[in-house]
Structure 1
Amino acid sequence: MSVSNFTASAHSLVAVENVQLRGLAFRDSYYENCAASSWRVHWRTSVFNELRSLESSVTHFRCNGEITFKATAGLTGVLMAVFENHIAGRVTVYSVPGCPQCLQAKAALQALNLPVCEVDVSHDAAVRAWLDKMTGSSTVPQIFFNNVHIGGNEILQNLTPDELEPLVRMVKEKPVPPDTLPLPAGNSLESEERDRGAITASELSEALRNLIMKLYSDHLSADGKSVDYKAMSKSTCYERYCELAVYLQRVELLSLSHEERLAFFINVYNALVIHGYLRLGFPKNMWQRYRFFNYVSYLIGGEVFTLQDIENGVLRGNRKGIAQLLKPFSKNDPRLQVALPEAEPLIHFALNCGAKGCPPIRAYTPKDIGSQLRTAAEAFLEADDGCIVDSMKREVKLSQIFKWYKADFGDTDEKLLNWVLNHMRASQKKTSLKTLLSTGNVKVRYMPYDWSTNSSH
């Protein structure tokens, strides 16, 4: 059976449950659940009095209640029975939905029977700016024991028992200082929609993205390494997403500003990828990936947009994509009117195609889209998956993303490396790269791309 019937309909994603890609099966199939081998712990802790007054107004702030989680190996040995049920302070974890590192950190802290209070920074630019200023890092999670900042998940996992015990005792015995941490006020889309009436294109894309992020977070394993897509596809939240996606056909695209267009299509792209995987399964080779990204589509504002159309036609200013002979939109294509005037390189650190080598998924808002995209680029380059600087070999290793879309960053290695340098946050890595570039003769290599998925089945 051909996949040429992958087109859009009034019911959001058009999907075929069982199709053949030139003899290669590509269907909605899953493996049986494997028995979990890690230790499971069930526990309950109460929300503290000083936080109860905030519950009615704080939407993106959550304290742990009854949960099930897998204890991580690095901290299990520090589980100590000496700590009583009453704990005076708290641990605050600044995070974003669907972040594997955030999940790992929270599971480790909960294994210590500590009260973990989570602040979702994806919706609040002021909190993100405060966090960046206070910690010197744009990555998440960022972890505070009362008012003591320890860093991210890797630092937490590597704490020795001697380093960890005084922090745990401080949280147990000392209350949170009154001026410790800002907690964001809520910003419920549903309440705003009730107040204002019709939902705009920007609000719709963010709502879709937030539903997908909730789905992702709800079905992400405690160690943050795998997602139960089978359970996700059967959830009521997924049903709500499908119902809401229908309204994409009615949005008015031409009225969107540049910032609104960026946020809208980034959010819709990331949501469509996951929606496609839930309905069709995961492509297993290059040919299946090509077909997936060229045929999975939504009907948006009366026009069909595939994943390739969104990425290369709209967000890259109508440039040819990987293995494409022609530009996505012809001169007479009405979709050309919504394309950005030129390619935006920063979108490559916001789009997530579902592979492990992709940047993490987030929800983007028009208000501070520039800042959000720069932060995403900084975080990507800060990690070794994105960039490695080897001063001894005079070599810079970059993600394949920079090779595939080199035209967006500069048509020479020198321009590419200068772009990378200018989008790094202050760090030893940036200093090393600057030193290499000042002396010339730097070799660029590209690291293998991890196309594997994080499905638990």
Structure 2
Amino acid sequence: MIQKLRPWVLSLLSFALLGLFSALASAANTFDHGQWDALLKQHVLPLNGGQATQVDYQGFTDDKVQLDRYLADLSQVTTPEFDAWPKDEQLAFLINAYNAWTVDLILTKWPDLDSIKDLGHFFSSPWSKSFIPLLGQTRSLDDIEHTMIRGSDRYQDPRIHFAVNCASVGCPALSNEAYVGSRLEAQLEEQTQLFLEDRSRNRIDSGKLALSSIFKWYREDFEKGWQGYLSLEQFLLDYSEPLSLSSEEMQMLRDKSMPIRFLDYDWALNRML
């Protein structure tokens, strides 16, 4: 009887081992952002259905030990480990790193600042400060956004501009959940639509399309061919619903006859009021 069962037992063991190895391989190709997710859920308040958020920097200060632990875990990742991850996992990691270290930077002077710009000076912006130990080098926020994300051929998705957060009212909302590779597409799409729905930053005004300055500063990113978009107008047409564009306004965009102006950026700290 035992001999008859042996092939079945061996098959069961092989199946179990295969599942274990698969789970281990999957775990090796992901990073646990649970600590950051918990901090965001506790200290980021969504407004207007998530179109904007306010950040409880005092709450982050009180939980600085947890934030430091998360940042230390980010710093432990090696370049070979990072390169072995799927592209969405890499991008989620870099977006979270940017946002978490931005919060950490604000805390270096909290509560004695009104804007992230207060952390810079005439010769150096806060984004150019090299203080982030990441993937074997000491980096700046600019390094993460402009070199590692925008400057890499790996990621050509302009929606990252609605995910990275510069701690300012004018920025797209800091999401109250961590980005994760398995849901990154849905998360980026949600953040894009929420930002475009915010009439304080994107709207029709006196017959002109008034847009956030993000579209001025990074216009080239929306015209590089992602999803086939070769012009900002093409990108905006695909998001005509969150922008609440009429059929006439959409036609003007197609004809490139819609006047576009860019709104002033509000650099006030996105603190909880």
TM-score by length of 1: 0.45
| Counterpart among 262, 266, 269 of residue 450 in structure 1 | 266
Where do residues 195-274 of structure 1 align in structure 2 (5 Å cutoff)?
A: 202-204=30-32, 206-217=33-44, 227-233=55-61, 235=62, 237-251=63-77, 252-274=81-103
| Counterpart among 129, 135, 143 of residue 309 in structure 1 | 143
Does 2:194 align with 1:368?
no
Taking the aligned partners of 1:356 and 1:226, their CA distance within structure 2 comes to 8
Which residue of 2 is the match for residue 300 of structure 1? 134
CA offsets per residue over residues 366-392 of structure 1, 9 Å max, x none? 1131222122111111221332124x6
| Counterpart among 184, 189, 195 of residue 380 in structure 1 | 195
Where do residues 3-402 of structure 1 align in structure 2 (5 Å cutoff)?
A: 202-204=30-32, 206-217=33-44, 227-233=55-61, 235=62, 237-251=63-77, 252-281=81-110, 282=113, 283-284=116-117, 287-288=120-121, 290-316=124-150, 318=151, 339-362=152-175, 363-390=178-205, 393=207, 395-402=208-215
Taking the aligned partners of 1:231 and 1:294, their CA distance within structure 2 comes to 26
Q: 1:402 to 1:438 in 2, by over 3 A?
A: closer
CA offsets per residue over residues 238-259 of structure 1, 9 Å max, x none? 2122123212232121112111
CA RMSD in angstroms comes to 3.3
Taking the aligned partners of 2:193 and 2:217, their CA distance within structure 1 comes to 19
1:263–1:364 CA contact under 8 A, matched in 2: yes
Q: SS of 2:164's equivalent?
A: coil
Q: 1:280 to 1:430 in 2, by over 3 A?
A: farther
Which AA in structure 2 matches 1:207? G
2:91–2:149 CA contact under 8 A, matched in 1: yes
Which AA in structure 2 matches 1:449? Y
Taking the aligned partners of 2:74 and 2:98, their CA distance within structure 1 comes to 12
Which AA in structure 2 matches 1:232? F
2:240–2:250 CA contact under 8 A, matched in 1: no
Which residue of 2 is the match for residue 12 of structure 1? none
**Which gives a bigger RCO, structure 1 or 2 (Cα 8 Å, sep 6+)?**
2
Q: 1:440 to 1:248 in 2, by over 3 A?
A: closer
Taking the aligned partners of 1:249 and 1:300, their CA distance within structure 2 comes to 5
Which AA in structure 1 matches 2:192? A
The number of residues matched between the two structures is 231
Which residue of 1 is the match for residue 19 of structure 2? none
How many Å apart are 1:347 and its aligned residue?
0.2
Taking the aligned partners of 1:415 and 1:299, their CA distance within structure 2 comes to 36
Which AA in structure 2 matches 1:271? A
**What fraction of aligned residue pairs are identical, expressed as a percent?**
26
Q: SS of 1:280's equivalent?
A: coil
Taking the aligned partners of 1:225 and 1:370, their CA distance within structure 2 comes to 21
Taking the aligned partners of 2:56 and 2:243, their CA distance within structure 1 comes to 36
Q: 1:427 to 1:345 in 2, by over 3 A?
A: closer
CA offsets per residue over residues 167-197 of structure 1, 9 Å max, x none? xxxxxxxxxxxxxxxxxxxxxxxxxxxx97x
Identify, as 1 or 2, the structure richer in helix. Answer: 2
Which AA in structure 2 matches 1:267? N
1:202–1:263 CA contact under 8 A, matched in 2: no
Q: SS of 1:361's equivalent?
A: coil
Taking the aligned partners of 1:294 and 1:383, their CA distance within structure 2 comes to 29
Which AA in structure 2 matches 1:254? D
Taking the aligned partners of 2:131 and 2:232, their CA distance within structure 1 comes to 32
Q: 1:442 to 1:286 in 2, by over 3 A?
A: farther
2:44–2:53 CA contact under 8 A, matched in 1: no
How many Å apart are 1:306 and its aligned residue?
1.6
Stretch deviating more after TM superposition (429-438 or 257-266): 429-438
Which AA in structure 2 matches 1:442? M
TM-score by length of 2: 0.72
How many Å apart are 1:451 and its aligned residue?
0.4
